[in-house]
Structure 1
Amino acid sequence: MSISLSKHKAIVLLGDSITEFSNVQHGLTTVLSDRYIRKLDVVNRGFSGYNTAMVLPIAKEIFAEAGKSGGLEIAAWTIFLGANDAVLFNTPSRQSIPLDAYVANLKEIISLVPSSVPVLVITPPIIQPHRWSAERGLAVDDRSEANTARYAQACRDLVAELGGKARLVDLWKAMETYRSDSSNNLDDLLLDGLHLTPEGYKLLNTLIFPILDELKLHPDDLEKTYPDWSNAIPEDTPPA
C-alpha cells in the first residue's frame, strides 16, 4: 500500500511569531496536530517579525502551489497578523504598516482563499509595551496598547465588512475579559509582553475550537485516512 503525502487535507496557520512559536505546550500547532491526527495535517506558516506586507507574497505563493494539480488541499485557514503592523512609527523596529495598508493587505490575503475554504481571522493580542521593551532591552517603547487596539478594531471591522467570507476570532476581547477579573493578570497570558504563554494559547484554543466544530471540522466529523490496522492486514496473513 503506497502512502500519499497529499492524502490529508490541511489546516494552514498563517501568521507572525505568535503562530511560528505555537508548537509549545497548549500551542495552536501542537494542539491542532494532536486533535486531527490521521485526519488533517496542520501546516505552520508563521514568520517571526513579519507584517502583512511581508506575508502577502508568501500567501500568494502558497495558494499558487495549492491550486496546482495534486497540490495541498486546504480544509481551513487561520490568519493571525497585526501585532507587528502595529509597531509605532519612527522606532528602530521598522515593522510598522499604516492602518489603511494593514486593512488592504489583510483583505487581499483573505481574498486569496477560495470561497469553499473557511477562514478564521484572529485579532492581534493585547500587549504589554513596557515589559516587551524590558525583555528586548529597548530604551523607548516601540509598541503601545492603544495603537495595537486600533489594529484589532480594524480587523473586526474588516471581518464584519466581508460578511460570511471570514470568521472573527477576537483574542483581544477575550484577553480584555480575562484582565477585567481582578484576580487575573496579563502576565499569565503573555510570555514577554507580546508572545503567548501556554495559558495564552489555551485561551486562544477556546475561541478557535468552537468555530472549527461549527464548520463540521470536529474530529468526530472527519474520517481517518487509511483503515484501522485490523482492517489493513492482508486477508491471507496466517494467524500468529
Structure 2
Amino acid sequence: MSVRDLHSFWEWGRKIICVGRNYAEHARELGNPLPGAEPLLFLKPPSAYLRPGSAIRPPRYSRRLQPEVELGLVLAKGGSSIPQEEAMGYLGGYALCLDMTARDTQEECKRKGHPWTLAKAFDCSCPVSDFIPKDKLPDPHSLTLWLKVNGQLRQQGHTSQMLFPIPHLISYISGIIRLEEGDLILTGTPAGVSDVQEDDELQAGIDDLVTMKFKVKSD
C-alpha cells in the first residue's frame, strides 16, 4: 500500500484500536487506576470516522459527551508480534483525532462490568484530521496536543507524557491483534476532559502542524 493511499485511510482502513489511560493525569482526573504493566485497549469500528465539515452527533442515550484529543498512528503495513525495535518501520504517518466519549454511559458500563462499546464506538465517535506523513513528524514523542471548546483551552498535553511509548504500543497490540495497512491506533489523551453541549465548536491541534474544527449538533 503506497503512502499516497494512506491519505484517505479513513475510507478503507479496517479497524481503530484505542489505548486508554496512557496519560497518568487523565487517569487520575477520572479516578481510574493506572493500567499497570500492560496497555488498556478498546476498539472503534470504521463507521466511527468523521471528517472535518461534518457534525458530531451525540448518541441518543447520553447526556454527557466529552472529547479527548489524541495522536493517531496510521499503519503503512501489517504484521503480527512486531518487535519494538522494528515498530516505527510499520508506520506510514499520523492523524490528529478525537475520541468522543459518552461519559455517563461509560460510567454505567464500568459500574455493571460491561464493555465500553456504547460509550466509545458510536457513529461520529472518531473525528480525524488530514493524514500527516511520517516525515513531517520526526519525533512523535515531542508534540503538544491541545483542544479548545468555543475558543477556551480545555486540554493541553505533551506526547512525552505517554506511559507506553509508540513502539511499545505497536508491538503489544500486534501480539494480540494482527495489524493491517490503514489501521489507526489512538494513543491516549492528556488531562482536561470536560463536557460539551449542542452548538459548541471544538478546535484541536498539534503544535503548529495541523488543526481541525467540528461542531456538536443533535438530531
TM-score (norm 1): 0.27
Max Rg structure: 1
Larger strand share, 1 or 2: 2
- Name the structure with the higher helix share: 1
Structure possessing the higher relative contact order (Cα contacts under 8 Å, 6 or more residues apart): 2
